[in-house]
Amino acid sequence: MRRAALAAAAVAAFAAALAAQQRPQIPHAGYVYPAGGRQGAAIEVRVGGEFLEGASAAYVSGLGVQARVTQYIKPLSGPEAQKLRDEIKELRDKRAASQKPAAAGSPNVVFTAADQKRIDEIRDKLEDVQRKPSIPAIAEIAILQIAIAPDAAVGPRQLRLDTKDGLTNPIVFSVGELPEFSRKPVRVAPEYNVVNGATPANRAAPRPPEPPIEITLPVVVNGQMTPGTADQYRFQAKRGQHLVVAASARELIPYVSDAVPGWFQAALTLRDAQGKELASADHFLFHPDPLLEYEIPSDGEYVAEIHDSIFRGREDFVYRLAIGELPVITGIFPLGGKAGARAAIETQGWNLPVARVTENFKGKAKAEYPISLRKNGWTSNSVPFAVDTLPETLARPGIGHREKAQKVKLPIVVNGRVAQPGEVAYFRFEGRAGDEIVAEVSARRLGSPLDSVLKLTDAAGKQIAFNDDFEDPGAGLITHQADSLISCQLPAKGSYFLQLTDAQGKGGPDYGYRLRISHPRPDFELRVVPSSLNLRAGATVPITVRAIRRDGFSGEIALNLKDAPGDFALSGAAVPSGQDKVRVTLTAPRTPVGAPLSIHLTGRATIDGHEVTRTAIPAEDMEQAFAYHHLVAEDAWMVRVIGEGARGVGWRSIEKPVKLRSGDATPFQLFVPPRFQLGVRLALNEPPEGISIQSITPDWDGVSVVLRVQADKAKPGLKGNLILDAFREVAPKPDAANQTRRRQPLGTLPAIPFEVVEAAAPRK
């Protein structure tokens, strides 16, 4: 009896120490406004999100940008709001009484400047906080002061808040070089709130439009779109100016999970002084963010207008609008070049200083590198230039017919363009029976609007392979995956013809492509999700690793931590052969770490007899329009270890894979110190289909877990990790209205590797 009582007390202590490990309140940043600032500026920004309580620090990637949190605003509860309403009523009554003569024998009522200031404070607080938010995910506000160094590099950064529950996800904050103007932060009134970013309903009395705001060019304007409105900006321009109006909206917040379309779809209009439309755009090429260029016909006044394409709006519909005679690269040719060589690159666009630039890629590895230009002190946008190690050539003109196909020798990368609508390019190469051939187009992923189609035929014209769109999980910002890829085995020795065109019959000087024709080049990339990871000292959390396999590589990938203190532990650290996703666990040190850590995850595999190591790119799994998921790459994998954890209490890792028999039940042992066994229960966390817990039995050394495998759902050869959550059930109090037993979490166990094997043959 005494042993049972001691065990029960130990379990209670164990639960108290570990219950905080499983926190459903994950800090989330929904937007930052303004979403950028100028070099050398000091600005105030608002971060809207959820579970931001205790925000104490802010981190901006890169050098030259410092941020600090100055205030946290949380929506008021009903009683809190009513208390403020009562106070403001008393103050207003006092102000009214002060304006009347005092009754005989009564002192004069004095309404002071401090009283008026308090009224203003309460009114602002009620408007700013008590309003019904569009969605809870952006209802809380953190106010930041951001200082940008004069020499801070121009371009997008990533901002994270550090709260009592850890780091938020990263959100884009841009550093610019143009003068900036920011509208006052918006408050979407309750009557204009819409559910899930939908189109607002028509109203009998629509909101009157605000007059245009006067600006001076060049400038970046920061704003937030409200429902049913358009923001207008009036400026002076001179005849002959090539005016550029470029919106950044979707590139600031790539995906809004609960809106359709799944982002703020900005639309631009340029008007003259009389309101006549001169130019408009709601996209640029295949990019959702619009960009327009217009040659000013005469000196005078002009108005730039921005609104959502279907007039939605709320606080996280944030935009940055660049207006001026600014340099813009709309396309380059070729889209890439050979590593170790110089490349002459044609540039197309507006207000560019040159039509051709030479870049030296000596010593550069196979990768994509940004190309940008400067004119009149302003920097253009950057576009990607692909560098590879294979031989390169240019597509010749006049290869639009099969009999005039361009002969190429493998391996090769062909740089070309579909220069005219309906144009087709043919390439001819020699192959042998059994040759493995890969033909891959890189165009959309390099900024080209080409929607490629590939068709491979033999010398007689018989189709061997065909592909229109090939989905690349590594291109998470492209919703229409329009590049093509063919991988096949040649049936016989002879000549083969590869045909390339645009699926929609379009073409033009900016419809460039890179066509790789080669034998397979097996390789892989890794993504690790999420990019911000929060856990308590001593706790274990699951993470997801995605393998993006290239050219048929299917081998196992061993995972390892880099730049992490030695007392971090990674369990289940391998992506099994033939699989592109695995969930592993990370266990934190048993003492808190003072600040967020930037660490790396690497993957190692043997490919064609050589050891290859790749560093995982941190990513966020973003949902778009309620259904679609995208892996959006981020700049760093940040880990925050907070609070006191389960010191001296832990589950022993299982290193060797547990062999689970298909169609059968398999027991295995988990070590738990005896004093923690009483009442411990386990549940599988996102288990593979067909694997379930049949029973859990305490024993002297821990617990015996029996897993059952359904033969029709989990086949022999399946490998991966099992992740178990520990908990105990707590009985309700006798007088409680709800008599349902509740779960008290005890933490997550280190990942347990498993392999499904054939069931043992029955004994005769």
DSSP letters of 575-611?
E-TT-SEEEEEEE--SS--SS-EEEEEEEEEEETTEE
Read off the pLDDT band of 732 (50, 70, 90): confident
At residue 117, φ and ψ (nearest 5 deg) are -60, -40
Read off the pLDDT band of 121 (50, 70, 90): confident
pLDDT of 458 strictly over 90? yes
- Give the helix/strand (H/E) hosting 303: strand 300-308
- Judged by DSSP in three states, 645 sits in coil
The span from the CA of 213 to the CA of 342, in Å, is 47
Mean pLDDT value of segment 592-615:
94
Token pair listed for 294: 């217009």
Mean pLDDT value of segment 92-114:
83
Token pair listed for 557: 């990938």
pLDDT of 644 strictly over 80? no
The span from the CA of 141 to the CA of 161, in Å, is 11
pLDDT at 473: 94
Contact 297, 184 (CB under 8 A): no
Nearest to 288 by CA among 242, 241, 314, 255: 255
Report the predicted TM-score, pTM, of the whole model to 2 decimal places. 0.88
pLDDT of 144 strictly over 90? yes
Q: Which residues contact 50 (CB under 8 A, 6 or more apart)?
A: 27, 28, 30, 136, 137, 138, 139, 140
- Judged by DSSP in three states, 490 sits in coil
> What single string gives the DSSP state of each residue in 427-464?
EEEEE-TT-EEEEEEESGGGT----EEEEEEETT--EE
* Residue linked to tokens 């909101």: 207
* Cis peptide leading into residue 297 (ω within 30°): no
At residue 674, φ and ψ (nearest 5 deg) are -50, -35
C-alpha 739, offset from chain centre: 42
Tens of pLDDT, residue by residue over 645-656, are 554 446 677 888
Tens of pLDDT, residue by residue over 464-523, are 999 999 999 999 999 999 999 999 999 999 999 999 999 999 999 999 999 999 999 999
Tens of pLDDT, residue by residue over 509-542, are 999 999 999 999 999 999 999 999 999 888 899 9
pLDDT of 205 strictly over 50? no
pLDDT at 13: 39
pLDDT of 751 strictly over 80? yes
Nearest to 257 by CA among 630, 619, 686: 630
Beta-strand relationship, 485-489 and 637-642: unpaired
The span from the CA of 371 to the CA of 361, in Å, is 12
pLDDT at 118: 87
The span from the CA of 299 to the CA of 379, in Å, is 26
Beta strands in 312-468 (DSSP E): 318-324, 328-333, 336-338, 342-350, 356-360, 367-371, 374-375, 378-379, 383-388, 392-394, 406-407, 412-417, 424-431, 436-442, 452-458, 463-467
pLDDT at 23: 45
pLDDT at 763: 58
Neighbour-count burial of 348, counting CB atoms closer than 10 A to its CB (0-12 exposed, 13-18 middle, 19+ buried): middle
pLDDT at 303: 98
pLDDT at 20: 38
Mean pLDDT value of segment 620-644:
90
Token pair listed for 581: 């996703």
Neighbour-count burial of 264, counting CB atoms closer than 10 A to its CB (0-12 exposed, 13-18 middle, 19+ buried): buried
pLDDT at 77: 67
- C-alpha angle 11/14/18, rounded to 5°? 140
Q: Which amino acid is at 525?
A: E
The span from the CA of 725 to the CA of 744, in Å, is 11
Mean pLDDT value of segment 46-60:
95
Radius of gyration of the chain (CA): 31
Low-confidence winner among 171-185, 438-452, 747-761 (lowest mean pLDDT): 747-761
Q: Which residues contact 602 (CB under 8 A, 6 or more apart)?
A: 526, 559, 560, 561, 562, 613, 614, 615, 616
Sign of the alpha-carbon torsion through 90, 91, 95, 98: positive
b/e sequence 74-108, b meaning 16+ C-beta within 10 Å: ebbeeeeeeebeeebeebeeeeeeeeeeeeeeeee
Q: Which residues contact 722 (CB under 8 A, 6 or more apart)?
A: 658, 684, 687, 688, 691, 707, 751, 752, 753, 754
The span from the CA of 35 to the CA of 56, in Å, is 20
pLDDT of 382 strictly over 50? yes
| Cβ neighbour number for residue 377 with a 10 Å cutoff | 8
- Judged by DSSP in three states, 532 sits in strand
The span from the CA of 610 to the CA of 622, in Å, is 35
Nearest to 714 by CA among 688, 695, 693, 694: 688
Between residues 367 and 699, the one the model is more confident about: 367
pLDDT of 74 strictly over 60? yes
Q: Give 736-764 as a 3 state SS string.
A: CCCCCCEEEEEEECCCEEEEEECCCCCCC
pLDDT at 132: 54
pLDDT of 19 strictly over 70? no
Q: What's the mean pLDDT when you consider all of the chain?
A: 89
In this structure, what DSSP letter does residue 6 have?
H
Tens of pLDDT, residue by residue over 209-242, are 689 999 999 999 999 999 989 999 999 999 999 9
Nearest to 193 by CA among 226, 224, 231, 223: 226
Low-confidence winner among 62-71, 170-179, 299-308, 725-734 (lowest mean pLDDT): 725-734
% of the chain residues with pLDDT over 70:
89
pLDDT of 635 strictly over 90? yes
